[in-house]
Structure 1
């Protein structure tokens, strides 16, 4: 939970605006009783979470794969090796859909752009977090490791039994 108050506010605005412009069908499923706030999300999405990341081939065909994700500063960070098909897709077409789904308990569905993180303070902080979690720097895992930060343009958060989930996981936000 490295989010600043401004980052939490920006995430809440994105969640509210995304939900408001969603279809009636989606709003019927992810209704007011099943949405999660930015504060609740940042409290729930700690540690490593498995992400489904969808990219697009040059022929416009969708591809999905699972990645480790860490929710930091109000968005996902994830990595892959530069030799992967996913890295080639992202280099040419950075638009992605990213979902974290924890059974019916919790989900965050998002669309946006996978921004390659350049060297600097922001990437250093992400490396420090990942290193503390895994016990080694992600850059020690291969010759061409690429770290991305998701720039979300749309996101909705879901909990089938929100109040039960929050109680069970000790979240009071």
Structure 2
């Protein structure tokens, strides 16, 4: 867990705002007893998680890709080759949707913007160290032009079918 108290507060505020702005249909599904809190999410999303990232082509056609995601500081970081179609999409159209679905037990859905990370960014070294420690090699060594992304969600909801049961099963105090 990398999150500071301020980051947890900001994440919880985002989750609360997003849920409140959601449709009645979504709020019926993600009822209060099924909503994941910021603390739940940072505990549940430790390590690498498979995320689905939805981009849009120049013609407006949707595309979705599975990627390795790491939840750091209350948001996702992920990477791909700068030559990948999704990298080209995100470079020109940085608005994306990101989802993580873990069976029927939990899900995190979000909409936001991506930013290409740079060596001059304050969180560059920490993010790169995290990725390198996880994989045993720097992601920058995986190809000629690897791009690391930071995700800035403006809408996010977390869901657990049986929240308290899920947290207990995963060793987290509800």
TM-score (norm 2): 0.98
**Secondary structure of residue in 2 paired with 1:54:** strand
Q: Unmatched 5+ residue regions in structure 1?
A: none
Q: SS state of the match for residue 108, structure 2?
A: strand
Bigger mean CA deviation after superposition, 118-127 or 79-88: 118-127
Count matched residues.
173
1:38 aligns to 2:55 (yes or no): no
> Secondary structure at the residue paired with 1:33?
helix
Shift of the alpha carbon at 1:124?
Answer: 1.0
Partner deviation per Cα, 1:138-166 (whole Å, 9 max, x = no partner):
00001100000110000000000001000
Cα deviation for residue 54 of structure 1 reads 0.1
- Quick one: distance in 2 between partners of 1:65 and 1:2? 26
Mapped to 2, the partners of 1:149 and 1:88 lie a distance apart of 16
Counterpart of 2:86 in structure 1 is 86
Alpha-carbon distance in structure 2 between the residues aligned to 1:158 and 1:115: 26
1:137 aligned partner: 138
Residue 86 of structure 1 and its aligned partner are, at CA, apart by 0.3
SS at match of 1:136: coil
Q: For 1:147 and 1:123, how far apart are their aligned partners in 2? A: 9
Whole-Å Cα distance in 2 between the matches of residues 92 and 130 of structure 1? 25
Q: Shift of residue 171 of structure 1?
A: 0.8
- Give the structure 1 partner of residue 114 of structure 2: 114
Q: Indicate yes or no: 2:91 matched with 1:98.
A: no
| Distance of 2:119 and 2:113 partners within structure 1 | 18
Cα distance in structure 1, aligned partners of 2:115 and 2:82: 14
Deviations 1:117-150 (A, max 9, x none): 1113411110100000000000000110000011
> What is the deviation of 1:17?
0.2
Residue 167 of structure 1 aligns to a residue in which SS?
A: helix
In the alignment, which residue of structure 2 is the partner of 1:124?
125
Map Cα deviations across residues 73-124 of structure 1 (whole Å, 9 max, x no partner): 0000000000000000001000000000001111100000011111134111
Structure 1 segments (4+ residues) deviating >6 Å = none
Query: Quick one: distance in 1 between partners of 2:49 and 2:104?
Result: 15
C-alpha RMSD over aligned residues: 0.7
Distance 2:71 2:146 in 1: 19
